[in-house]
Every structure is written in C-alpha cells, then in structure tokens.
C-alpha cells in the first residue's frame, strides 16, 4: 500500500469526485478524514465503505468558507491521526447564470466555496505541514479555468484562481518540503455535472468527448481521477510542484 502510515483530509468527500478520492486513498493505506457540509448520510456511507474494506476513516462536518470551522476540522484531524500528510481541496459547487443576470449572492457563493475554501483549508494545513517537515496539497480544479464556460463565469474564475493560487503557494512553501499541485479533470459524470442538464445536453457532451478524445471515447467518472491523485501524494511526484495536470484538454 503506497500510502501506508499517511493521513490526510479530503474536502467535499461525501459525494462525487471527493468520495472516489477518499475511498481510493484509503484503499492504499491512508487514514482519511471525510469532510462534508450538508450530506451527513452520504459521509457516513463513505466512512462505512472504507472501514468495511479494512481502512481507517472519520467524518467531520465543516463549511470550508468559515475559518473557525476549517481550523476545528484540521485540529480534529491532527488529534485523531497524530499527523496530517496531505490535503485534497475538492469541495466546490457551481450554479449556472449569464453574467448579466447573475446575482451578487450567486457570485459570492461560488467564489467563497471554491476559492476561499481552498485558501482557508490550505492556510490551516500548511502550518501543521511546516512543523512536520513536509506535506502534499492537491487542488481539484477544472479546464474551465482556462477555457471558460458560458453561464459559468464565477465557476471559471474560481478554477483559474485555484491554479494561480497553487502556483504562488507552491513557491512559498517549497522550502518546507510541501508540494502544491492541481488536477483539472474535465467533464466528469457526477450528479453535480448532470444537474440542470437535459438528456439532450448530456448526449451532446458525450458525443463531443468522442470527437475530442477518441482514445477514451467517454465522459470521465470520478474513479478516473484517483490514480493521478495518488501520483501527487507519493514520492513518484516529489520534484513536481506548482503544476496543473489536465486529464482533458481545456
């Protein structure tokens, strides 16, 4: 098991991509704190799945936009596991609106969850990682951060911001043995991705992927990202930092 004796936090880990990552790193021996905001039942299911497979997992409710809740989560993780070796910033959301019609509340909700949440979790975590002499931070971003998205300016802005944040943070913490990288998975078949899409829109997206990516010929599923996360959490990527890995072209 390549993550044996390692411990970390995956935010937004009750559903979708976060769920797959939490289960995937636990399968490789890591102790995992499953962060969730509202989906407690789903978080319980993730923890149960990991424990039944022989792994170690705990859950913790925290709104990543609230500094006090993030700090409480990090303190709990360190007290429970003894150390924190990695953080996966996955918590995020998206709404759809034209810029002209977007409300300030909509803008703030997406910016705060996706970008401020990444900042707060990383800030709290690097203090511990510096004391320990190293650690890994992985941001789950999106190709939309470079390619843009109609009716998703706030989402695209956060994902571009996460990549820029990782670039800068990686330079600040490199002397302490901490790496910071991002993964941009592209379209991924999750409830989040399907929300608000008609069957026709989903079918069209699948056809577009077949044209753009003839080797794979499909929309990705959450489990497809796990291998890349594992790479960034192990010594295989020890000289890599400040980078974004695109699983699809932006």
Cβ atoms of residues 74 and 125 within 8 Å: yes
Cβ atoms of residues 139 and 89 within 8 Å: yes
Residues 6+ apart with CB under 8 A from 104: none
CA-nearest of 80, 62, 81 to 72 is 62
Strands (E), 37-166: 56-61, 86-89, 135-140
Q: CA-CA distance, 28 to 96, in Å (whole number)?
A: 36
Q: Go through the chain and tell me how many residues it has.
A: 250
Residue 46 Cα to chain centre, angstroms? 16
Residue whose token pair is 């007290």: 79
Residue 231 appears among annotated catalytic residues = no
Give the residue numbers annotated as catalytic, written as ranges: 155
């Amino acid at each position: 098991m390549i993550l044996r004796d390692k411990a970390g936090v995956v935010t937004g880990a009750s559903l979708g991509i976060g769920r797959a990552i939490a289960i995937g790193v636990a399968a490789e021996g890591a102790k995992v704190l499953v962060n969730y905001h509202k989906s407690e039942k789903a978080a319980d299911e993730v923890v149960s799945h990991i424990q039944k497979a022989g792994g170690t997992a705990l859950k913790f409710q925290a709104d990543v936009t609230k500094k006090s809740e993030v700090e409480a989560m990090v303190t709990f993780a360190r007290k429970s596991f003894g150390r924190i070796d990695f953080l996966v910033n996955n918590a995020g959301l998206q709404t759809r609106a034209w810029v002209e019609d977007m409300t300030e509340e909509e803008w703030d909700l997406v910016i705060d969850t996706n970008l401020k949440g990444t900042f707060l979790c990383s800030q709290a975590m690097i203090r511990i990682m510096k004391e320990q002499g190293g650690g890994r931070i992985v941001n789950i971003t999106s190709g939309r951060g470079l390619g843009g998205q109609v009716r998703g300016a706030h989402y695209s802005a956060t994902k571009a911001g996460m990549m820029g944040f990782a670039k800068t943070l990686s330079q600040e913490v490199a002397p302490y043995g901490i790496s910071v990288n991002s993964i941009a998975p592209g379209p991924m078949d999750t409830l989040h991705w399907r929300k608000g899409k008609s069957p026709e829109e989903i079918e069209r997206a699948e056809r577009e992927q077949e044209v753009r990516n003839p080797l794979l010929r499909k929309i990705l599923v959450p489990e497809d990202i796990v291998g890349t996360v594992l790479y960034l959490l192990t010594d295989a990527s020890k000289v890599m930092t400040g980078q974004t890995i695109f699983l699809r072209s932006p």
